[in-house]
Amino acid sequence: MLNIGGLRQGIVIDHIQAGGAMKIYEYLNLEKLDCSVAIIKNARSNKMGKKDIIKIEGPLTIDINVLGVLDHNITINIIEDDKIVEKRKLSLPDTVTNIIKCRNPRCITSIEQELPHSFKLTDRKNRIYRCIYCESKFKGN
């Protein structure tokens, strides 16, 4: 069990599928934040075997709920004054913009680079999103 001691305020993104932390780091643009970020890869987990964890120090203004699109097992621990004050299980948002990208080469988003990549949730049970422009399918983990 890893200790998250020393984190006075911030969030811990836990139960990330092993190997998935860097993808989440990139999606959240954590390299642009002026705070400490720790990535723990392949940590032992009773529930998952192995998992990744991201620990971010300081107050955050990013929307972490969109992470449910990338990995539905993720849990978010909110830390204040060295204590976990909230544990949050992520749910799938109905729409996501600029989190996942349309892979259809004929989609308008491939031609018009400034258009946002927007997807709507069309099948919650199977975690399927569809591009609002061309209906191409994206399936989350």
Over residues 18-39, mean pLDDT: 88
- CATH number for the domain that contains residue 55: 3.30.70.140
Quote the CA–CA distance of 66 and 134 in Å, as a whole number.
21
Quote the CA–CA distance of 58 and 37 in Å, as a whole number.
10
Q: Does one domain contain both 85 and 101?
A: no
Query: pLDDT (tens digit, 9 = 90+) per residue, 55-100?
Result: 999 877 777 777 888 888 899 999 988 889 999 888 888 998 888 8
Please give the tally of structural domains in the chain.
2
- Domain annotation covers residue 21: yes
Torsion angle of C-alpha atoms 55, 43, 24, 93, degrees rounded to 10:
-90
Q: Does one domain contain both 30 and 80?
A: yes
Q: Which runs of consecutive H residues, i.e. helices, occur in the chain? A: 21-27, 67-70, 108-111
- Residue range(s) defining the domain that contains residue 26: 9-89
Among 68, 69, 86, CA closest to 77 = 86
Quote the CA–CA distance of 25 and 28 in Å, as a whole number.
5
Q: Is the pLDDT of residue 105 over 80?
A: yes
